[in-house]
Every structure is written in C-alpha cells, then in structure tokens.
Amino acid sequence: MILSEFLTSIKEKLASAGIDTARLDAEVLAGHVLGLDRAGIITQHDRALNVEELKILNGLVQRRIKREPVAYLTGKKEFYSLEFFVTPDVLIPRPETEFLVDYAIYYAPRGGRVLDIGTGSGAIAVALQHSRCDLEMFASDISDKALAVAKDNAEHLLADNTIHFFRGDCFEPFHGERFHVIISNPPYVDPAVKDTLQHELSYEPQSALFAEDHGRRIIIKIIDESRHFLYPDGVVLIEIGAEMKDFIMEYGPMRGFDTSVASDYAGLARIAVLKNR
C-alpha cells in the first residue's frame, strides 16, 4: 500500500470513530512513524509502506480510535514554538497556556527570580527560560515522574539548563525564598463536570486536571500562601477556568492583591494577575 492510500483509509477510520481532527491526526501519525514533516507527506504521497511501517501505524490508529491523545502516541507536543517530550505522567501542553509565558515575560524584571508551581512537563518554565535567559528559574511538582519529564525537556531544549527543579507540594520546598513572579497552571477543573468532558482527558493525569471546591482548591492555596514568597512588588500569574473570573476578582483583593483577569484569543477569562500591594 502506498502512503496516500493509507492516509485516506485511516482518515476514514478516525472520522467514523467521531474524531474531528481525523485528517490532521492521520498525517501526524504517519509523519511520526515515517520521519516525515508535512511537506514530506505531500511530496512522498506515492511512497510504498513496508510491513513493519504498516504494523506500527495500524497499532497507533487503533489507540487513537480509543481516543488516546496524539501527543501521547508520538511522545511530543509543540508549545511556544518548542517541541516538548510528553508522557502520560504529565498534562499535554495547550496553546492557551502560552499566555502564562507571555505575561511572565512581561512582568519579570531583568535578572528576576521566577517560580513555576506544578511544572508538569516543564513547558512553562522551559519556554520562559528559553525566552528570558536572564531569569533565575525555579520549578516544582509533587510528582517524581513529572519532574523527570521536565528535566529531560530542560536538558533537551536549553543550551545551558539552569532551572532549579524541586519535588514538593506548592510552596513546600521554598521556605525562606522570595520571587518576583510566581506562575502556575494548577488543576482547576470541577470534578462534577468530569463525565461531560472529551474522552481524551481520561488519559491525562487526573490530579493535574481536577481540584475540589469546584476546581478552586489549589488556586486558593496558591493565592493564600504566595504573599509569604513574593517580593513587595511581586506578581502571581495563574491559569484559571473561564467561569472563575468573578471569584478571582472577589477573592484576590480579599487576600491583599490588586487583581485583574486577562482573556485569551477566544475572549475567555484565562489568566489571573495578582499584584502584591
């Protein structure tokens, strides 16, 4: 079977399984196995696939039909124009989280100290360090497996990896430390809506997605504790769910922060900005 015929076949299978991104997924999986980029997929459309290539591709297609995310099938995901390693031990980096990096670049002073809480794959910390090599970057996660992935990404993507990684819950490893910017993409999905979400999310680490108190528990913990770890003019940046805007605008000032909420390109509330008074 040649490549174009195989792509047509698997696109139909994926579409029949209700996958909206069937064409893109088919091309990404084929490119991953065959070592081709998008241009290569087009120019080598008449390439004959051997038995081993077909076996591997068919196996990946069957896993995708079961809604396993493409990023876990290929082991990589682009974020902030960098290609990150990902495993089922970490959340898959998403485009909307790039706003956190943008805001940290803006707020972090020259040579500032920045802390990424719940670093996961290390996407935020690595992208920020890659863009701002002047920063002293710290990152933490409660998961040893997640930290292993983050460290691999830092070593792979940074010419001079100077990120300080620590294992621990939120601020636990940082007693006595101070930061100019504290940044986090914490779990913020309400467990009550779990059954209404796309099936792909069931493959991602649930503790990194869902939080008690309608998704607010970790966000509240970060806001409550962060003032002890901020410089006087420090800023906390937290990714939030769109429905949390009113809560953040009420709770932030109660805890002593000048508070605002920034929207993403879809117009949805996305980034809580809390400035130390």
The pLDDT value recorded for residue 1 is: 86
One-letter amino acid of 114? V
Specify burial of residue 255 (Cβ count, 10 A radius: 0-12, 13-18, 19+). Answer: middle
> What value does the mean pLDDT take over residues 4-33?
94
Work out the pLDDT band at 160, boundaries 50, 70, 90.
confident
Q: Give yes or no for residue 120 having a pLDDT over 80.
A: yes
- What is the number of alpha carbons within 13 Å of residue 100 lying toward its C-beta? 32
Q: Give yes or no for residue 172 having a pLDDT over 90.
A: yes
The CA distance from 113 to 136, in Å, is 5
Specify burial of residue 16 (Cβ count, 10 A radius: 0-12, 13-18, 19+). Answer: exposed
One-letter amino acid of 37? D
Q: What are the distances in angstroms from CA 131 to CA 6, 52, 112, 165? A: 40, 40, 13, 18
Hey, which residues does 78 pair with through a beta bridge? 83
Query: Which tens digits make up the pLDDT trace of 208-241?
Result: 999 999 999 999 999 999 999 999 999 999 999 9
> What value does the mean pLDDT take over residues 18-37?
93
The CA distance from 193 to 275, in Å, is 31
The pLDDT value recorded for residue 161 is: 75
Average pLDDT in the chain: 95
Is the CB of residue 221 less than 8 Å from the CB of residue 133?
Answer: no
Those residues with Cβ within 8 angstroms of residue 92's Cβ, 6 or more apart along the chain or in another chain: 69, 71, 72, 77, 86, 204
As a whole-number percent, the residues of the chain with pLDDT over 70 amount to: 100
**Which residue, among 121, 64, 113, has the nearest Cα to 94 in the 3D structure?**
121
How much is the CA Rg of the chain, to the nearest whole Å? 21
